[in-house]
């Protein structure tokens, strides 16, 4: 009689083991199904927005690659209205003077009949700072020129 009880216990434990395996497989397949559902909802990661034409995707740099951009900053101090957006966007290249006008740090004044035009050539791996400074400038007196192509990239 004890042998019958042992065999029944063995059968019962085998049935429980099979049920546990089936439950684990069901949970695993449900987790996989949910993971696939989440993946399908996510938008694919793209570098820049190729549909927009108001900016150049090349200047949205990949942070894993440190590419150096050669840029020229052209700043017209006479047109400055002291809003301070350039300093907030790029504190490395701009600062305020005593009149609360922006100063292009390290910029050289252009020679010629027009005074107040400052030029600075930089080499940076973070072009977005100075580009944002030019784009957020209220009177648009900051221009950024790509030295490699010669094209104006901002504003």
pLDDT of residue 28: 65
Reading the block at residue 75, the tokens are 């700043």
What phi-psi label fits residue 53: left (phi over 0), alpha (psi between -120 and 50 degrees) or beta? alpha
* Cα–Cα dist 73/103, whole Å: 12
pLDDT of residue 14: 67
Give, for 11, the enclosing helix (H) or strand (E).
helix 2-41
Give me the residue spans of the domains in the chain: 63-154
pLDDT of residue 72: 93
Q: Which among 137, 146, 126 has a CA at the least distance from the CA of 73? A: 146
pTM (global) more than 0.85 = no
Domain 63-154 CATH assignment equals 3.30.70.20: yes
Each residue's pLDDT tens digit, 61-111? 555 667 788 999 999 988 888 888 888 889 889 998 888 888 899 989 888
């Amino acid at each position: 009689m004890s042998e019958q009880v042992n065999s029944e216990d063995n059968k019962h434990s085998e049935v429980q083991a099979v049920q546990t395996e089936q439950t684990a497989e069901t949970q695993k397949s449900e987790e996989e199904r949910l993971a696939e559902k989440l993946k399908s909802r996510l938008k694919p990661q793209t570098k820049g927005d190729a549909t927009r034409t108001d900016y150049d995707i090349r200047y949205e740099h990949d942070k894993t690659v440190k590419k150096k951009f050669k840029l020229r900053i052209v700043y017209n101090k006479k047109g400055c209205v002291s809003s301070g957006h350039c300093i907030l966007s790029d504190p490395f290249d701009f600062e305020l003077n005593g009149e609360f006008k922006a100063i292009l740090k390290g910029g050289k004044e252009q020679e010629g009949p027009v005074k107040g035009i400052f030029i600075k050539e930089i080499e940076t791996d973070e072009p977005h700072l100075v580009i944002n400074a030019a784009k957020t400038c209220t009177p648009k007196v900051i221009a950024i020129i790509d030295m490699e192509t010669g094209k104006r990239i901002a504003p």
